[in-house]
Amino acid sequence: MALKLQPMSMTVQLPSSFTRPRSRLFRSSHRVYMASTLGITSKEIPNDRKPYMPPKEVHVQKTHSLPPQKIEIFKSLEGWAEQNILVHLKPVEKCWQPQDFLPDPASEGFEEQVKELRERTKEIPDDYFVVLVGDMITEEALPTYQTMLNTLDGVRDETGASLTPWAIWTRAWTAEENRHGDLLNKYLYLSGRVDMKQIEKTIQYLIGSGMDPQTENNPYLGFIYTSFQERATFISHGNTARLAKEYGDFKLAQVCGIIAADEKRHETAYTKIVEKLFEIDPNGAVLALADMMRKKISMPAHLMYDGQDDNLFEHYSTVAQRIGVYTARDYADILEFLVQRWKVAALTGLSGEGHKAQDFVCGLAPRIRKLEERAQARAKQASLVPFSWIFGKKLSV
């Protein structure tokens, strides 16, 4: 017999620590040009917002924007995906694991190895740690990204263990990505340079908030988004590797470098999917690209919060921009790279709307660079902001 549940109404009183002080919410900062270039929007939240809602308001999203006949394209591409996309996954036995780069807790020399790690990281500046922590937190919100991929019509993992190549890719991609946050988290923990509890809180807040990529359950938009993001993470982990080397921590450089290599492989797979869409449906693909770029690609961790700083993501992004790990220029470069990768300028036979979209995306990168230069020139003097991740020490943003 099926249980019949009585409808009931319940008011849940959450502790005040679930909420953020409203008066301080969404102070707009004139210095967040990079974040605003990257599509971060903050609006006043309505007063009736429930305390367990995400700390920042997200867009009201369009849903299921791809028509059913186009969703069929993905079914028809299953054989192709098996041959062309799954080959970019690495067999588990051939993959590196976080333990390969960390002191071995089962070995005699564990304490010595930890000591060496702490010695190596001692002189690395706080700016770098804040950026590495932000990158690690971004990786740690992986449940959100797997969820995001499973919002996409036609490619989602319908059962949790579906055998379509799309679902196999998503699960294996997630499993590969899972090593990134794991490795960075353990390395940072052992360094003793950062406030782990504040970092852990930020991760919990971020996973609870989700993300707002505006991909509308639409795999065209979704795969453009992931192409962009994999390249963005490839660039930023590559830059943290370069800087770690400059600071003399070659092991940390190796850690960031090996993660960057994974991101590159993932970028190759996602850009290949979009390349295929450009081949079979150039008009639809160029419209989708223009749509994503008009909306701006929001960063996956743009809803981050540590319980203290209402503009944490903007502050972290500003430090990342200042030390050259990820900049507004990189955003423009990624767009330009993708436009070339997908040979957008050479597309022919487009509709009137398609032509407009083509012109828009082909001319966008130089426009973003110009805007960024102007924003740089307008930027006021830097102010000092405390970061809970480094025990409240203040950094210039």
Residues in contact with Fe ion by CB under 5 A are: 139, 177, 180, 230, 233, 263, 266
* Cβ nearer to Fe ion, comparing 264 with 356: 264
For residue 386, what are the β-bridge partners? 394
Alpha-helical runs (H) found in 40-153: 68-76, 78-84, 110-121, 126-140, 142-149
Q: Are strands 393-396 and 384-387 parallel, antiparallel or unpaired?
A: antiparallel
Cβ pair 322, 32 in contact under 8 A: no
Q: Would you state the torsion angle of the CA atoms of residues 64, 69, 74, 77, taken in this order, to the nearest 10 degrees?
A: -170
Query: Residue 391 CB, nearest distance to Fe ion (Å)?
Result: 26
Cα–Cα distance for residue pair 319/305, rounded to 1 Å? 16
DSSP 8-state class, residue 45: P
| 3-state DSSP assignment of residue 336 | helix
Query: Residue 369 CB, nearest distance to Fe ion (Å)?
Result: 25
* Cβ nearer to Fe ion, comparing 177 with 216: 177
- Give residues with Cβ within 8 angstroms of 306, minimum separation 6: 198, 201, 202, 205, 312, 388, 389
Q: Which two tokens stand for residue 176?
A: 């590969």
Query: Residue 387 CB, nearest distance to Fe ion (Å)?
Result: 22
Query: Residue 321 CB, nearest distance to Fe ion (Å)?
Result: 20
Query: Residue 170 CB, nearest distance to Fe ion (Å)?
Result: 12
Cα torsion angle, 176, 180, 183, 186, sign: negative
- 266 among annotated binding-site residues: yes
- 140 among annotated binding-site residues: no
* Cβ nearer to Fe ion, comparing 135 with 372: 135
Q: Which two tokens stand for residue 225?
A: 């988004």
Query: Residue 263 CB, nearest distance to Fe ion (Å)?
Result: 5
| 3-state DSSP assignment of residue 393 | strand
- Residue nearest Fe ion (C-beta atom): 180
3-state helix, strand, coil in the chain (%, to 5): 60, 0, 35
Q: Which two tokens stand for residue 196?
A: 């782990």
Cβ pair 53, 335 in contact under 8 A: no
End-to-end Cα spacing for the chain: 62
* Cβ nearer to Fe ion, comparing 240 with 358: 240
Query: Residue 18 CB, nearest distance to Fe ion (Å)?
Result: 29
| 3-state DSSP assignment of residue 385 | strand
* Cβ nearer to Fe ion, comparing 127 with 139: 139
| 3-state DSSP assignment of residue 394 | strand
DSSP 8-state class, residue 85: T
* Cβ nearer to Fe ion, comparing 227 with 358: 227
- 230 among annotated binding-site residues: yes
* Cβ nearer to Fe ion, comparing 32 with 199: 199
Cα–Cα distances in angstroms (integers) from residue 44 to residues 85, 370, 378, in the given order: 42, 29, 25
Catalytic residues: 96, 139, 177, 180, 230, 233, 262-263, 266
Q: Which residues participate in the annotated binding site for Fe cation?
A: 139, 177, 180, 230, 263, 266
Q: Which residues participate in the annotated binding site?
A: 139, 177, 180, 230, 263, 266
